[in-house]
Chains A and B, each alone.
Chain A
Amino acid sequence: MDITNLFGFAVQQALGPTAIIYCLAAIGLNIHFGYTGLLNFGQAGFMLVAGYSIGGAVTIFGSSLWVGTVVGLLLCVGLALLLGVPTLRLRADYLAIVTIAAAEIIRQTVGAAAFSDTFGGQDGITDFIPGFRAANPYNGPIDLGIVSWGAYDAWVMTVGWALVAVCCVIVWLLMRSPWGRVLKSIREDENAVRSLGKNVYSYKMQALIIGGVIGGLAGFMTSLRSAAVGPSFFATDVTFFAYTALLIGGAARVLGPVLGAIVFWFLINFFGSFFSQATSGPDPLIPSWIMDSSQASIMRFILVGLGLMLLMIFRPQGILGDRRELAIDAR
């Protein structure tokens, strides 16, 4: 067992491109769920729409990544309107049902064999990032001693963390304003806000759009990280991983999703790597009569699930949450 190697790998992943994707997705969900109280279970749908936009712009229309970015963001706005118009006047649970269903509908449609000429079926789209690769300023890998990233990953991370920083500043600016106060009030009690002369429907729609667009940024990062997009990248578990990250970090905190995504992805990779090392080799640390290596590969999800349960019991407000807010819920 190589502990340094273990930590190095987990840290590399926790700051790497995949953690950035969960981070952006969770920032979007933080606006939806943390601040406004909207239950969006279809964040993966927003990510898919955006991810396929930059892929499709290049491979289908022979256009540039920039055009794909603009189209992707516009489609995310359109998707938010499509989901919000029928459901935001209804109770919160309807949005949850509609979003989770819509995300799956989009994913199944895009992955269908009938459209495989355009969207590449289950294989998805590839070969659309030469332009992004060419703009890479790094010549070689970035090495920080125990952690190192390849040149391409470093470029993806630079763009990704820059996007995260911009999103955090925007969220911070918005949530300290009277506009953000109305969102938080809607989370607490919609009818009270209505009785004070605010158009609740319009505010919820604005929140859904902004969170969805940030989800779209997560979709861009997904396609840039993998240099490909496919339906399997945007399954429902992506949304729930993003929720996990949000809850670990603390909802309704600007930096909650950032810290949460890093911690979540660190733990997943640390446990994953630990159990694969502990069950491999001629004389494994965990003997094979307890578990073999294929059984060990799912231990990371069991442990993170257990950790999430303990967090909900002993620190339900998340790492950055405010204990006082929780005392109120108990009343």
Chain B
Amino acid sequence: MPADASDSTTVEVQNETGVDIGAARRALGDVAHEPGSKKPDPIVVADGVRRMFGGLIAVDVEHVEIQRGVITALIGPNGAGKTTFFNLLTGFDRPDAGEWSFNGTSLGKVPAYKVARMGMVRTFQLTKVLSKLTVMENMRVGATGQKGEKLRSAMFAPLWRGQENANTERANGLLERFLLIKKKDDFAGSLSGGQRKLLEMARALMADPELVMLDEPMAGVNPALKQSLLGHVKSLRDEGRSVLFVEHDMDMVRDISDWVIVMAQGKIVAEGPPDAVMADQRVIDAYLGAHHDTDISEEQEEQILAAAEAEIAAKQEEPQ
């Protein structure tokens, strides 16, 4: 069974470099639909990652692998620990225990900025644009390895002007693609919510990341823009990048993801292609509760009532 039957025509498409971009997705066809299943070519591997806030175990992931070159969705009900797990992977938070690696390099105590330099760039659930900088300046900040960002060379423009012009050109291309080119000289703070999402995604691409991590890219975006955002996310995969995103919007998950990982109460409860996962009983239980579709029978009702009455009686006796 292909990873995404409805999209099988594009699976065969090759990108400009001639690499078969469908290969990674077809490879997922043989992967078991079990939590923590092994992937043929994982870009991220996490083991025993655990994060506690006081007594609450927010994240407790035994083992998870994320396949290279595909779009992986991380879903789960509110409070499942998705964003916390995201923060842990990208170095924005430290786990109490566990190991995880990116491209085989362990990220144990690596700070967030180094994780980003390695090629794993994230966006935020609440978009973080740099309001008092123009859209173009926002984009330029995204470029890595800038000579002019070193204090030694910052004061001498000839040392960094060439690189700056090259970055500007690249930023122009990305802004064109994300339909923000007309806004390039406006302050980023004047953009609408949806445009900010686009800008954040475009800015992340300035760093030329291998793995793009999107935290709820569809939150608060109108349906029209949603379609174009979906296209942008797919285009990331088509140019050979891997994508991991957290999302609540099931239409989006079904539409674009090649693989879905479901979290509930900090643990990974299910994995698989979208259609298989959505039919999975464990996922339905996680979202709706284990007894959501059983009616309460008269017998059970009486039991509950009796238990409640006993409790009230016990309380009334207590003061004496």
Q: Contact residues of A with B, CB < 8 Å? A: 170, 173-174, 176-182, 184-185, 187-189, 191-200, 206, 324-325, 327-329, 331
**Chain A residue, CB-CB nearest to B155:** A173
Ordered by A's residue number, 21 sampled pairs between the chains whose C-beta atoms are within 8 Å are: A173-B157, A178-B154, A178-B160, A179-B154, A181-B137, A181-B141, A184-B130, A185-B141, A188-B131, A188-B132, A188-B133, A191-B92, A195-B121, A195-B122, A195-B204, A196-B144, A197-B117, A198-B113, A198-B149, A327-B190, A328-B190
**A317 smallest CB distance to B (angstroms):** 11
Least Cβ–Cβ distance between B208 and chain A, in angstroms? 11
Residue B99 at the chain A interface, CB threshold 8 Å: no
Known: A324-B187, A325-B132, A328-B131. Contact between A196 and B121, CB under 8 A? yes
CB distance from B144 to the nearest CB of A (A): 5
Which residues of chain B come closer than 8 Å to A181, judged between CB atoms?
A: 133, 137, 140-141, 149
Q: Is residue B177 within 8 Å, beta carbon to beta carbon, of the partner chain?
A: no
- Tell me whether B141 and A177 are in contact (CB under 8 A): no
- Given A174-B154, A328-B190, also A192-B128 (CB < 8 A): yes
Complex contacts, B141 vs chain A, CB 8 Å? 181-182, 185, 193, 196, 198
Nearest B residue to A330 via CB reads B189
Closest to A207 in B: B151
User: Contact at B113–A179, with CB atoms within 8 Å?
Assistant: no
Give the CA-CA distance A180 to B149 in the complex, in Å: 8
B113–A192 contact, CB under 8 A? Answer: no
Point out the residue from B90, B133, B164 that lies within 8 Å of A184, measured CB to CB: B133
CB distance from A173 to the nearest CB of B (A): 4
Which of B114, B149, B157, B206 is the most central at the interface, judged by chain A CB atoms within 10 Å of its CB? B149
- Contact present for B160 and A196 (CB under 8 Å): no
For the complex formed, measure the closest distance between the CB of A85 and the CB atoms of chain B, giving whole angstroms. Answer: 16
CA–CA, A277 to B142, complex, Å? 59
Contact A328 B155 (CB under 8 A): no
Residues of A within 8 A of B148 (CB): 177-179
Shortest CB-to-CB span from A213 to chain B, Å, is 13
Q: Is the interface of A mostly helix, strand, loop or mixed?
A: helix
Task: Find chain B residues with CB under 8 A from A182 CB.
Answer: 141, 149
Instruction: Quote the shortest CB–CB distance from B222 to chain A (angstroms).
Output: 18
Interchain CB contact under 8 A, B151 and A206? yes
With CB as the reference atom, state the residue of chain A lying closest to B147: A178
A199 in contact with B113 (CB, 8 Å): yes
- On whether A196 and B207 interact (CB within 8 A), knowing A178-B149, A182-B141, A206-B151, the answer reads yes
Q: How long is the Cα–Cα vector from A253 to B79 in the complex, in angstroms?
A: 44
Q: Which residues of chain B are within 8 angstroms of A184 by Cβ–Cβ distance? A: 130, 132-133
Tell me if B112 is interfacial: C-beta within 8 Å of chain A. yes
User: A181-B133, A184-B130, A197-B144 given. 4 additional CB < 8 A pairs?
Assistant: A178-B147, A181-B149, A195-B128, A196-B204
When A178-B146, A185-B141 are in contact, do A192 and B129 touch as well, CB less than 8 Å? yes
- Nearest CB in chain B to that of A196: its residue: B142
Bound: A114/B90 CA distance, A: 52
Tell whether, in the assembled complex, residue A177 and residue B155 are in contact, meaning their CB atoms are under 8 Å apart.
yes
Q: Which residue of A lies closest to B167 (CB)?
A: A178
CB of A178 within 8 A of CB of B133, answer no
Does B133 lie within 8 Å of A196, measured CB to CB?
Answer: no
Complex contact B113–A178 (CB within 8 A): no
Q: How far is the CB of B198 from chain A (nearest CB, A)?
A: 15
A residues near B114, Cβ cutoff 8 Å: 197
- Residues of B contacting A329 with CB < 8 Å? 131, 189
Interface hub of A173, A180, A181, A189 (most chain B Cβ within 10 A):
A181
Query: In the assembly, what is the distance between CA of A187 and CA of B132, in Å?
Result: 9
Taken together as a complex, chains A and B put the C-alpha atoms of A191 and B147 apart, in Å, by: 22
Nearest CB of chain A from residue B136's CB, rounded to whole Å: 11
In angstroms, Cα B190 to Cα A325, docked, is 10
Point out which of A197, A200, A327 has the most chain B C-beta atoms below 10 A from its C-beta: A197
| Contact A188 B130, beta carbon cutoff 8 Å | yes
> Is B267 an interface residue, CB under 8 A from the partner?
no
